């Protein structure tokens, strides 16, 4: 068994060497292709950390991410990932067991910096001028667990320079060694949270038709998609069946007053999930109704003044912008749920459920901005969820080992096969679905 293990390790080392030599030949001949696209830097960093997770456990090293900025770079995703995986694995190999390797993402003027720091023996002074040369190794007698091809840093330097960046390092013997790459920030904003490029939906509930029409006109001019209701029952039905970003509510309604409706809604939605602005005919109405206690964003007194209304609309827009998107991940693989949640931890709140029954319950009681759907679940097919999700007008990404039947393509924004799609491709589609206009979702 020991001989087999040695043979396996030698084979893997030979494969790495061959791949590295092929990369060197491609770079030197100018045949290495680069596909540039704007990408969220911290997502690539997290993917590189995940790729090294089992490796770090082998060396008893903890990986720590310090994210000081969220930014976008115009790079070849696979090549940048290759560099980051190499830098992190080097940090792990040359760390003192039990120590921490810290990966930091930060911004300096118009550049993004990713650094990898570890605590170990450090880089010898005599080796530093040659560290980025081909086949360079500080100590040829180093243990096999630390040995490499001697090409990783040379290839990394060439790739980073092709991406328009720089790579460098600093080291203190027996203390800290820090490698970093610096890349230009993409010059166009790549917004990860919801923005008004995507039209927001607001529900106006007012039994005064004249006021309702006036509010509808003003809000449509402010780029809202406007839905209207004249009773609490109508409002509740719309919120149950459709996506609503904000509610503008008159307190004097037939059958049920506005305050009791708000209290009912607050059992299901927080103020960040559904910001509510109230309209009242009473002077100092906010004080009388104790606005903070029932969690309303703002209040407007009738008769409505345009300036006051525009100020309230501006506040609603700000509240919607800072809202953290909520994603429902319907998947029976709990490890995959945890990986996606970890990769998205700064972008969205991810709730994972493993059965159709749990998914139905969550969709009934909570609001979501996106659903990630597996097709094979313990209690049935994910396809069964599409009629429920389509009524709520929530975009769906199918992420499954099985293809979605063509008849159902119209109900999803994207179908990705687990065998073909990388985590980054899934994340890219998630962000696109959260930041761009939703495709029309038809009812089944």
Q: Do 176 and 297 fall into the same domain?
A: no
Q: Is residue 442 pLDDT above 60, yes or no?
A: no
pLDDT tens-place string over residues 350-389: 999 999 999 999 988 888 889 999 999 999 999 999 988 9
* End-of-domain residue from the set 298, 321, 344: 321
Q: Do 282 and 353 fall into the same domain?
A: no
Tell me the pTM.
0.44
For residue 19 the two structure tokens come to 């791949």
Largest Cα–Cα distance of the chain, in whole Å? Answer: 87
Q: Do 249 and 366 fall into the same domain?
A: no
Which domain CATH number covers 302? 3.40.50.2300
Number of domains in the chain: 3
Q: Do 119 and 178 fall into the same domain?
A: yes
Which domain CATH number covers 169? 3.30.565.10
Nearest of 45, 182, 39, 44 to residue 101 by alpha carbon: 45
pLDDT tens-place string over residues 28-63: 666 677 788 888 898 899 999 998 999 999 999 999
Q: Do 267 and 313 fall into the same domain?
A: yes
Q: Do 134 and 39 fall into the same domain?
A: yes
Q: Do 225 and 148 fall into the same domain?
A: no
pLDDT tens-place string over residues 326-341: 899 999 988 888 888 8
In-domain check, residue 366: yes
141: confidence class by pLDDT, cuts 50, 70, 90: very low
pLDDT score for 439 = 40
In-domain check, residue 191: no
* End-of-domain residue from the set 157, 184, 211: 184
In the block, tokens 């709990």 appear at: 334
Distances in Å between the Cα of 379 and the Cα atoms of 303, 357, 383, 436 are: 54, 8, 12, 33
In the block, tokens 């023996």 appear at: 121
* Distance from C-alpha of 410 to C-alpha of 439, rounded to nearest angstrom: 9
Q: Do 269 and 130 fall into the same domain?
A: no
pLDDT tens-place string over residues 284-298: 554 445 444 567 888
Q: Do 95 and 140 fall into the same domain?
A: yes
Q: Is residue 2 pLDDT above 50, yes or no?
A: no
CB proximity list for 408: less than 8 A, separation 6 or greater: 383, 386
Structural domain boundaries, residue 57: 19-184
* End-of-domain residue from the set 321, 354, 388: 321
For residue 112 the two structure tokens come to 């993004």
150: confidence class by pLDDT, cuts 50, 70, 90: low
In-domain check, residue 1: no
| Cα three-residue angle 266-271-274, rounded to 5 degrees | 80
In-domain check, residue 13: no
For residue 314 the two structure tokens come to 């501006």
The DSSP symbol for 253 reads -
pLDDT tens-place string over residues 57-86: 999 999 999 988 878 888 888 889 999 999
CB proximity list for 82: less than 8 A, separation 6 or greater: 155, 156, 159
Q: Do 305 and 335 fall into the same domain?
A: no
Determine which of 72-86, 252-266, 269-283, 323-337 has the lowest per-residue pLDDT on average: 269-283
């Amino acid at each position: 068994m020991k001989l087999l293990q040695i043979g396996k390790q030698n084979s893997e080392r030979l494969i790495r060497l061959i791949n590295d030599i092929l990369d060197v030949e491609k770079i030197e001949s100018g045949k290495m292709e680069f596909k540039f696209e704007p990408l969220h830097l911290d997502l690539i960093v997290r993917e590189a950390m995940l790729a090294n997770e089992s490796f770090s456990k082998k060396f008893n090293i903890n990986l720590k991410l310090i994210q000081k900025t969220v930014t976008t770079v115009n790079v070849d995703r696979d090549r940048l990932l290759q560099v980051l995986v190499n830098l992190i694995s080097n940090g792990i190999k040359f760390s003192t067991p039990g120590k921490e390797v810290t990966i930091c993402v930060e911004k300096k003027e118009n550049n993004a910096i990713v650094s990898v720091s570890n605590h170990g023996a450090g880089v010898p002074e005599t080796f530093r001028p040659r560290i980025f040369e081909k086949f360079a190794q500080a100590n040829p007698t180093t243990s096999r667990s630390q040995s490499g091809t001697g090409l990783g840093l040379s290839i990394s330097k060439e790739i980073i320079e092709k991406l328009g960046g720089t790579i460098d390092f600093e080291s203190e013997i027996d203390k800290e060694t820090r490698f970093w790459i610096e890349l230009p920030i993409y010059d166009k904003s790549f917004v990860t949270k919801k923005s008004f490029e995507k039209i927001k939906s607001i529900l106006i509930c007012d039994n005064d038709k004249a006021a309702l029409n006036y509010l509808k006109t003003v809000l449509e001019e402010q780029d809202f998609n406007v839905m209207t209701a004249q009773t609490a029952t109508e409002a509740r039905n719309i919120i149950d069946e459709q996506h609503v970003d904000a509610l503008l509510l008159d307190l004097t309604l037939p059958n049920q007053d506005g305050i009791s409706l708000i209290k009912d809604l607050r059992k299901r939605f927080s103020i960040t999930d559904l910001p509510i602005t109230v309209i009242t005919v009473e002077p100092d109405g906010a004080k009388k109704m104790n606005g903070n206690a029932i969690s309303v964003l703002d209040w407007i007194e009738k008769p409505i003044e345009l300036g006051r209304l525009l100020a309230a609309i501006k506040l609603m827009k700000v509240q919607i912008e800072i809202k953290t998107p909520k994603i429902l991940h319907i998947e029976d693989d709990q490890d995959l749920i945890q990986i996606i949640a970890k990769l998205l931890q700064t972008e969205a709140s991810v709730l994972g459920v493993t059965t159709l029954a749990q998914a139905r319950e969550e969709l009934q009681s909570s609001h979501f901005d996106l659903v990630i759907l597996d097709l094979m679940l313990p209690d049935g097919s994910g396809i069964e969820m599409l009629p429920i999700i389509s009524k709520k007008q929530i975009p769906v990404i199918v992420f499954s080992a099985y293809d979605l039947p063509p008849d159902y393509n119209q109900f999803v924004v994207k179908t990705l096969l687990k065998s073909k799609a990388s985590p980054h491709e899934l994340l890219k589609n998630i962000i696109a679905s959260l930041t761009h206009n939703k495709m029309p979702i038809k009812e089944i």
